[in-house]
Amino acid sequence: MGAIKVELEDLSFSYLMPEECRRLQSLIEPKQEERMGLLKKAMHKLEIALKGAGIKAEVSGRRKHIYSIYRKLNIKKVGLNEIYDLVALRIIVDTVQDCYGALGIVHSLWRPFPGRFKDYISMPKT
C-alpha cells in the first residue's frame, strides 16, 4: 500500500503542480547519482559490520520521493540542505535486542547529528 501511496502522491504532484515539481527535481537531480553511490557504499559497510557482529539483518536503501521532499520543505519551512534523509538506510532484524545491536553498530560507524536522533525502537511512530 505504501508504494502505491508514494506513486500516487508523486504523480499527483507532477500533474497538479508541474512547475514546482520540475523546479524541485532540478535542485535534487544533480547530486542524486552521488547520493546513491554513497548509499550503496554505506549499505555494504553496514552489512559487513552487522555480519561481523552476528546480527542477521536485511539492509536496504531508499531515496526520498519528490512529493515527500516538497512537503517537508513547506511544512517545516527548511531548505533542501536541511533535509538529512534524501537517501536513507533501512535495517530489518528479527528481535528488539538485534535492533539495539544494529543501532549500536550504526552509531559506531557514523556519528548521529546532535539533537536529530529519535528512538523509534522504544517509542515507535503511531
The per-residue pLDDT for range 17-29, each reduced to its tens digit, is 999 999 999 999 9
> Which run of H or of E encompasses 89?
strand 87-93
The 8-class DSSP code of residue 111 comes to P
DSSP H helical ranges for 17-116? 18-28, 32-52, 66-75, 96-109
User: What CATH code is assigned to 2-109?
Assistant: 3.30.460.10
* Entry pTM: 0.82
Residues 74-96 have pLDDT tens digits of 998 888 988 988 999 999 999 99
- Residue 25, C-beta contacts closer than 8 angstroms, at least 6 positions apart: 66
Q: How many CA atoms lie within 13 A of 72 on its CB side?
A: 15
